[in-house]
Amino acid sequence: MYLEKIDSPKDLKKLEIEKLPVLADELRKFLIDNVSKTGGHLASSLGVVELTIALHYCFDSPKDKIIWDVGHQAYPHKILTGRRDRFHTLRQHGGISGFPKIDESEHDIFGVGHASTSISAALGIAKARDIKKEKFDVVSVIGDGAMTGGIALEAINQAGYLGSPFILILNDNRMSIAANVGALSEYTHRIAKTKVYKDVKQDIDTIINKASGDMKGITEKLKAHLKEVGAPGLLFEKLGFNYIGPVDGHDINKLLESLENAKQIEGPVLLHIITKKGKGYEFSENDATKFHGLSAFNAENGKALKKKTDKSYTEVFADTLVRLADENENIVGITAAMPHGTGLIKFAEKYPDRFYDVGIAEQHAVTFAAGLAVSGLKPVVAVYSTFLQRAYDQIVHDVCLQNLPIVFALDRAGLVGEDGPTHHGVLDLTYLRSIPNMIVMAPKDENELQHMLKTAIDYNGPIAIRYPRGSGFGIPLDNKLQNIEIGKSETIKNGSDLVIVAVGSMVYESLEAARLLEKQNIDAAVVNARFVKPVDKEILKIINDTGGAVIVEENAVKGGFGSAVLEELHKEKIDAQVTQIGIPDKFIEHGSQKILREKYGLTRDNIVLKSKELLE
């Protein structure tokens, strides 16, 4: 066993090169065994095992800087950089993160979680090195579709212009989470298929190395001409990069040779490697999308351990959208590399001509939707709450300023669990409610979600629905879809002592809290806000009548729904005691939704406690 002796890259370098493929096999088995227990991003990490070994064998981390894009490719990196003994705590509360974090290891050079940032970060690190006259190598590893992101292309544009030496490794596995999309993906795929070019280029390189005098000059010109008339790396060469590849990303010897060559080249280098997502594990190779990110599973058969119960919010959204699209041919579905995660795959299968996966390009997704909307269509942009943050400017300028009828379906809103601070969707109520013309809704359960989606489709302006990760409450779904009056809340329980006003996922916790308070002779009303914007005037009246309110939301307290209610109370000159329960002013760590909700007081018991304190 070689892996158990490796606690740092220095230990790795002690192995003979011929032993590295054996290490790769051990590393894959270790990954499968551990991730089957913790859950996580398996397929992406399996695809970069050989690359990770080659990188840490060839470079001197942390002196040399290796930056991983997205981060779900970085499990092998974590294992080889001193975290093998803690890897069983992956994504568990108090354990190691599922993504690189600068405060977790000196080998994690740049924290990530959202895609397409590694080239920009690497370029910044390389330029800082040059300015400070230091000497070390900088390597950016981008893959899993992150090259489809606009920021990656912006960085490539500047990197070629600046000319600072660094190595960009394009891990080309033809996948993001689902299959890769876009012209750039097709271009790199064509590169991979051009075996004739590779063979001819290799022959010419051999001739150049052996030639001298006039013959050397002729062959150099021939090589240059080959690039001009159809070399597959021509695009990157024209952008200022020295192109190497394509290289088999599962051949350690070829990787080491290519990396050593790249180190010798002045200026930016693009090393194009071809890998298979999920490599070395039959089930993930056959279904890389399923094994991209998953919960605990049986390693022997690849099946999930946790049995599915009630329908998830995602499924209800997907089914309802298809149902509405059956009656409205103007509905168009848009997602940013998440057709399965958002549930839009169902829409895509039934209405392929009205579905668009734009790749990891949220900014483009929103403005593309604006173009569709201004032309009379009804776009539905389905995106995780945390990823919509990347398109804030487009929401403001291209959608809300023009008051265009676009529906934003925000999945994974609130605390999402083990993926941690880069993925929690706890800012959307804050950043959306501040934008003029935007309507913001949050359903208390899966049945209300379907009615809200119907409301959103029929509304003639920008409107957002945010709903949590996971299963609903098992509430039966109404057969007939109905509109909800814009800005109208729902009083679930009347009460005279105080009112608990809850948003979305916190409504049933609040109702349970009211029942517990009732046993202690405290009469609490419960209101399902439904709309974060606009705030229902009826809520203000109930607060005025009872004299006190506890406002509960799975969103940042600063600037959230509670802040909106306080603003309205101040405007109406209503004097009342108000307590806010929500996410504190900090980035929330990773851990299960249950643990995090308990830790931050999003529970019936804490609502009871705060209600009693309010009345003291």
**Catalytic positions:** 277, 362, 390
Q: CA-CA distance, 142 to 360, in Å (whole number)?
A: 12
**Strand 548-556 vs strand 269-274: parallel, antiparallel, or unpaired?**
unpaired
Asked if residue 91 lies in contact with residue 40, where contact means CB atoms within 8 angstroms, the answer is yes
> Using a CB cutoff of 8 Å and minimum separation of 24, what contacts does 369-372 make?
369/332, 369/334, 369/399, 369/406, 370/394, 370/398, 370/399, 370/402, 370/404, 370/406, 372/332, 372/334
| DSSP category for residue 312 | B
Q: How distant is the alpha carbon of residue 242 from its chain centre?
A: 30
Q: CA-CA distance, 166 to 59, in Å (whole number)?
A: 13
**Strand 524-528 vs strand 242-248: parallel, antiparallel, or unpaired?**
unpaired
Q: How many CB atoms lie within 10 A of CB 393?
A: 11
Q: CA-CA distance, 384 to 417, in Å (whole number)?
A: 14
Q: CA-CA distance, 268 to 242, in Å (whole number)?
A: 6
> Using a CB cutoff of 8 Å and minimum separation of 24, what contacts does 371-378 make?
372/332, 372/334, 373/399, 373/404, 373/405, 373/406, 374/402, 374/404, 376/330, 377/330, 377/331, 377/332, 378/328, 378/330, 378/331, 378/332, 378/405, 378/407, 378/457
Q: CA-CA distance, 444 to 415, in Å (whole number)?
A: 15
Rg over CA atoms, the chain: 27
Asked if residue 68 lies in contact with residue 112, where contact means CB atoms within 8 angstroms, the answer is yes
Give strand pairing partners of 168: 140, 270
Q: How many CB atoms lie within 10 A of CB 282?
A: 9
Edge-first strand listing for the sheet containing 138-143: 65-68, 138-143, 167-172, 269-274, 242-248
Asked if residue 440 lies in contact with residue 408, where contact means CB atoms within 8 angstroms, the answer is no
Give strand pairing partners of 24: none
With H, G, I as helix, E, B as strand and everything else as coil, classify residue 544. helix
The residue among 121, 593, 273 whose CA lies nearest residue 112 is 121
The residue among 383, 387, 415, 372 whose CA lies nearest residue 506 is 415
Q: Which two tokens stand for residue 293?
A: 């990110």
Helix/strand/coil (H/E/C) assignment for every residue in 56-107 = HHHCCCCCCEEEECCCCCCHHHHHHHHHCCCHHHCCCCCCCCCCCCCCCCCC
